Amino acid sequence: MSTISSSIASSLTLKSAKPSLFSSSLCPSSVGFKQSVAGPGFFGTQLKLRAFHEGAPSASPSSRSNAVASAASGSKFSKKEDVVVAGTGVQELSMKERADCTGVQELHVYEINERDRRSPAYLRLSQKQVNSLGDLVPFTNKIYSGNLEKRLGISAGICILIQHVPEKKGDRYEATYSIYFGDYGHISIQGPYLTYEDTYLAVTGGSGIFKGARGQVKLHQLIFPFKIFYTFYLEGIPPLPAELLGEPVPPSPAVEPTPAAKATEPHATIPNFTN
């Protein structure tokens, strides 16, 4: 497989000052096009070149096609191989390239319950007056960027009550949920959710640019159950796009998204944000 990647890499010629995306020391920060070559005996009959976001390479479509064609000519592939071509907007990387993405990246988001989604719902399966083992809490809330300037999407999942902790005026839940980021994909989360103190949950995977994500997330409760500040520590993925980042607003019970983000104005949302 590495021989195939090296062969393809040496055949691709783009008008770009960027270093090779096939270097083992580089986890590409941006990918605009994906070439998929699949099946035994294929050498160009099933090439796909697709732009994911604006800001793709300056090379013309014809020159990009020629580059892909030259990469495939004379080469046969016994299994699927993804080839990444310089551009912007990471969508997919090969297994090897994902293995090279070993740095930890921080991502900050706010989860805010604006009391307009009929969430959370409390299902007292225990049939007891007080919160008890087995009670279920499905929920969905809105997600904003750490700087509170963009609406990103929603959270969606379920919590199972494990223990009522009256001395701490709270509960311990086992949580399984996802946070959705529109066209960028989603992050899956699982672990303990304590309503009375900070907790760390596992990042169990994701989709889109978060495909193959691993790591953990710190959940900082601000107002239960209305405001939470998350700090993700993500590994195994390419560098995150700038619009998901930005200097986070220091967490406090008083934080609020900007009016534009709250109103989902076009400049204050990400592409096809999940609602």
Q: What pTM, to 2 d.p., does this model score? A: 0.66
Q: How confident is the model at residue 11 (pLDDT cuts 50, 70, 90)?
A: very low
Q: pLDDT value at position 94?
A: 53
pLDDT band at 62 (very low <50, low <70, confident <90, very high): very low
**Is the backbone peptide bond immediately before 120 cis, with ω within 30 degrees of 0?**
yes
Helix (H, G, I), strand (E, B) or coil at 191: strand
The bridge status of strand 81-86 relative to strand 105-112 is: unpaired
For 5, phi then psi, to 5°, come to: -60, -40
Confidence of residue 183 (pLDDT cuts 50, 70, 90): very high
Tell me which residue of 160, 110, 104, 109 sits closest to 131, measured CA to CA: 160
Task: Tell me what pLDDT residue 69 has.
Answer: 43
Look at residue 102 in the predicted model and tell me its pLDDT: 55
Structure tokens at 102: 């070993």
Give the three-state DSSP class for 62. helix
Q: Can you give the pLDDT at residue 35?
A: 32
pLDDT of 99 strictly over 90: no
**b/e sequence 112-151, b meaning 16+ C-beta within 10 Å:** bbeeeeebbeeeeeeeeeebeeebbbebbbbbbbbbbbbb
Confidence of residue 101 (pLDDT cuts 50, 70, 90): low
pLDDT for 100 equals 52
Which of 100-114, 137-151, 186-200 is predicted with the least confidence, judged by mean pLDDT? 100-114
Q: Is the peptide bond before 225 cis (omega within 30 degrees of 0)?
A: yes
**Structure confidence at residue 80 (pLDDT):** 37
Residue 198 has pLDDT above 80, yes or no: yes
Tokens of 193: 């959710």
The percentage of residues in the chain with a pLDDT greater than 90, rounded to a whole number, is 61
What distance lies between CA 146 and its chain's CA centroid? Answer: 14
When the pLDDT of each residue in the chain is averaged and rounded to a whole number, the result is 75
Mean pLDDT on 2-9: 46
Residue 32, pLDDT > 60, answer no
